[in-house]
Chain A
């Protein structure tokens, strides 16, 4: 285990020195500041919010604005995860940083595991921190709390862990720049799938909804995000549920145990391919 923790620490020090944390921290503070401002004005002028008939304005505003915060949290978490992992294998090998580490009796799979643990060890607390801070801001400002408190946050953290795993996998085969672009495109594809689902939901098009669902399974980051969105309005029914599920950035139509189990299987598959690819890679 000494080797694992040594590499975990190495990865964290690298991130600190490259100022990744500083950039993300500044972005986060800016986001939370603006988010607090938005909450203040939205709930101060709640009478001005005009939800569809029969829907409570506070629930409407709270769920939408917090759903937006969840997307921002996911996005910031993804940025952090990608920048922590995008150059772990090929990028570091091209710069000559990896070879002195790999020739040590550590094992390539151990090195990958350690870099994954290091990234998750930073990203998961970060995502949970931003998620709960956003929740507190909305709860204290607007007196609205999500129906499920913890599970959506954990799912967002799991989604970011999946992105970290995908980015590590990409780093085995792609240069840092290409990997970063690829991962953000995958993330964007998930976002498009969510928006597609929203359109299908609004138009009652089962074909579009089905396509969006399949896409969400192909990129389970999106499935976890949608499941998390479902969680914050889990106790709503009828028209309220229908409208809130439209979501601020894509809907919330994929949920339940299925996507969670699939995300776990997906993570294992990504890890297996990454380890296999790295073990066969000439450096």
Chain B
């Protein structure tokens, strides 16, 4: 995939800056937000390291979008602190270091894809020029639609253009709020590959999504929010709960429900010692969906 760091004043390879280099891409501590009588966030701590992909999960109204908006300076926190690459969220250096795709966004319908990116290049102070625009459009598989007007694009194409827009200037932190909600499976895979590419380049990504399978496939860590609080956090493997060991013998498949991964060798040894032929062993763990449902307790909003 092409280089997306062109024009980024914060890109490690072009403009090393001592203090921000050491800071995490996003650091949030004790973050709270009230909208009148509604508590959207109630003391959230979260960190996204450079090159880390963090998935943000939670039912509608859990505070995911509010957290993302505070990080990019669209919403002011009631209390707590958020920094982007060491700079206070909302400050000019913080905004220069991030790319953002809102859940509900729109580009002017009369702009072409190329013009949208050019507009954002000027606003971001990117010096990438037409080469950067070409690279970004290729990254999101919109190279053929370079001169197509936004109003003539499908929702999925607009969403991919939104992702490209968020990458203008080569941000060190990418905040994506439901970036694949309108995409078909091919479009989702394009975005997934792009995120993996960005991770390899050291870009921190906070991915807010309801698509658990996407999160499970691509994210290093998952944070689950419920009613403005973090109720679960960790890598998908850490969050997964043991659900037993499944063993296939000549008598069929048998599940040892209370067993865990560490019990598997003993179980196999006991079966072999008992004269059974073992054809397969599988450690069963809960899926992210099960972890999520356990964490939110069936809440939908």
**Could you list which residues of chain A lie within 8 angstroms of chain B, going by C-beta atoms?**
2-3, 6-7, 10, 13-14, 17, 95-97, 99-107, 280, 282-283
A19 to chain B, nearest CB (A): 11
B69 within 8 A of A: yes
* Contact A13–B125 (Cβ < 8 Å): no
* Contact A103–B122 (Cβ < 8 Å): no
B82-127 CB contacts (< 8 Å) to partner A: 92-93, 95-96, 98, 100, 102, 104-110, 119-120, 122-125
Considering residues B75, B119, B120, which has the most beta carbons from chain A within 10 angstroms of its beta carbon?
Answer: B119
B74 within 8 A of A: yes
B72 within 8 A of A: yes
B279 to chain A, nearest CB (A): 55
Considering residues B122, B124, B162, which has the most beta carbons from chain A within 10 angstroms of its beta carbon?
Answer: B122
A109 to chain B, nearest CB (A): 12
> Contacts of B75 on A, CB cut-off 8 Å?
282-283
B73 within 8 A of A: yes
B5 within 8 A of A: no
* Contact B74–A282 (Cβ < 8 Å): yes
Return 9 A-B CB contacts under 8 Å, by A number.
Answer: A13-B108, A17-B110, A96-B105, A97-B108, A99-B105, A105-B93, A106-B95, A106-B123, A282-B35
B76 within 8 A of A: yes
Decide yes or no: A283 and B123 within 8 Å by CB, A13-B110, A17-B108, A100-B107 being known contacts.
no
Complex CA gap A282/B74 in Å reads: 6
What 4 pairs between A and B have smallest CB-CB spacing? A104-B123, A105-B96, A96-B106, A17-B110
* Contact B102–A2 (Cβ < 8 Å): no
B112 to chain A, nearest CB (A): 12
Checking A3, A95, A103 against B74 with a beta-carbon cut-off of 8 angstroms, the contacting residue is A103
* Contact B96–A102 (Cβ < 8 Å): no
* Contact B120–A104 (Cβ < 8 Å): yes
* Contact B102–A100 (Cβ < 8 Å): yes
Decide yes or no: A105 and B125 within 8 Å by CB, A10-B119, A17-B110, A99-B74 being known contacts.
yes
